[in-house]
């Protein structure tokens, strides 16, 4: 009888841990999706402070022309008004969580001008997130424009 009780306890414990891990992963996915949406809102509103809080100090972005930007350069561009974003919609999400790191891929559809040039369209992106000091920070991004058929 003790063996059965022990076996049942072990099974319940294993399933409990698995459910807890899945719930925590789902929670992280929701947190990261929320942060991804905040990035879009910050760009559309030119909210440098909000955007800057999301980015890690060592953040880098590789843009659709292959140019690598630092956090300071990215924030300065947003602040300067060279980028005018009137719409930023994200879909086709995929979030993969690896402990205190995560990778988010997705598609954005933007209406945007950059230095007066229309760069509107659809883009694929990959964002790399790291949880530091209890909060998620964006450490690297890569963006590629989806070719129009």
| Distance, C-alpha 70 to centroid of its chain | 17
If phi over 0 gives left and psi between -120 and 50 gives alpha, with beta otherwise, what is residue 30? alpha
pLDDT digits (tens, 9 = 90+) for 94-134: 999 999 999 999 999 999 998 899 999 999 999 999 999 99
Residue-level pLDDT at 4: 57
Tell if the pTM clears 0.85, that is, is over it: no
Residue-level pLDDT at 5: 46
Query: Given this structure, which CATH class describes domain 2-145?
Result: alpha beta
Q: Where are the domains of the chain?
A: 2-145
Mean pLDDT calculated for residue range 60-69: 95
Residue-level pLDDT at 43: 87
């Amino acid at each position: 009888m003790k063996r059965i009780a022990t076996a049942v306890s072990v099974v319940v414990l294993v399933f409990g841990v698995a459910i807890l891990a899945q719930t925590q992963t789902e929670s992280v996915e929701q947190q990261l999706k929320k942060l991804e949406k905040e990035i879009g809102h910050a760009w559309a509103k030119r909210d440098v402070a909000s955007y800057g809080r999301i980015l890690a100090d060592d953040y880098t972005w590789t843009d659709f022309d292959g140019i690598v930007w630092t956090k300071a350069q990215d924030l300065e561009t947003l602040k300067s008004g060279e980028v005018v974003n009137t719409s930023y919609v994200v879909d086709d999400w995929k979030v993969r969580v690896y402990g205190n790191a995560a990778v988010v891929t997705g598609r954005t559809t933007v209406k945007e001008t950059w230095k007066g040039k229309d760069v509107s369209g659809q883009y694929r992106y990959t964002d790399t997130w790291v949880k530091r000091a209890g909060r998620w920070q964006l450490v690297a991004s890569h963006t590629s424009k989806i070719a129009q058929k």
